Chain A
Amino acid sequence: EIVLTQSPATLSLSPGERATLSCRASQSVNIHLAWYQQKPGQAPRLLIYDAANRATGIPARFSGSGSGTDFTLTISSLEPEDFAVYYCQQRSYWPPSFGPGTKVEIK
């Protein structure tokens, strides 16, 4: 099973700042990596799939990059509604697996 590691565990930032979240896979997953946002009491929401493709309706301030084992989710300028937990997930090897999450909190 592929193990995904996310860093940092917590990111403390202010609205308007840039957020950079990392995800590392235990072996290459090609580009088959997705990012999800989850707010308390809600289901996860798909943001990015296949490393760099924004899902329908996702604002342009969210962008993804990377391939192989190292991936990045960037939020160019944090809005108040962006403070949440972010998970990466790979689908290159079955079963699909998720990272432990990065919490983006208000500084």
Chain B
Amino acid sequence: QVQLQQWGAGLLKPSETLSLTCAVYDGSFTGYYWSWIRQPPGKGLEWIAEINHGGSTNYNPSLRSRVTLSVDTSKKQFSLRLSSVTAADTAVYYCARDLDDSGAYRGIFHIWGQGTVVTVSS
């Protein structure tokens, strides 16, 4: 059964850059889109961006200017960088995979990482 394992720094100061990585285990990396989704404390979910194995990306316009995604197919990993963080970026960040690799089910988030708590505080 495919699993996503994610990691990254959990405590940042304002203006620093958030950096998270998600690794794919026991499953294919190619053919899928891989997303980042976040959830501020006590609030709902916000889709951040997605990338595929070829490096093709799509971003939420609300975060586009601060987000960079990258992919390392040899390691089956993808990464998120969010620059100039503020307290408003405090959230649990999840990586997630689409339902399947056909392309017909893009935007259906079937497999999720365990989440990384990121706190921005001076």
Contacts and interface: CB of A to CB of B under 8 A. Distances in A.
A43 interface: yes
B45 A87 contact: yes
Given A89-B109, A101-B44, 11 more contacts: A43-B115, A46-B99, A46-B108, A55-B110, A94-B58, A94-B107, A95-B58, A98-B44, A98-B46, A99-B44, A100-B44
A43 B44 CA distance: 12
Per DSSP, chain B at the interface is loop
Interface string B84-122: 000000000010000100000111111011110000000
Contacts of B94: 43-44
B47 A43 contact: no
Nearest to B95: A43
Contact of A43 (B99, B105, B106, B114): B114
Interface of B: 44-47, 58-61, 94, 99, 105-110, 112-115
A97 B46 CA distance: 7
A44 B112 contact: yes
B45 A49 contact: no
Nearest to B45: A98
A99 B45 CA distance: 8
Interface string A83-102: 00001010100111111110
Nearest to B94: A43
13 contacts: A34-B108, A34-B109, A36-B45, A36-B109, A43-B112, A49-B105, A50-B108, A55-B99, A89-B45, A91-B106, A94-B107, A95-B59, A95-B61
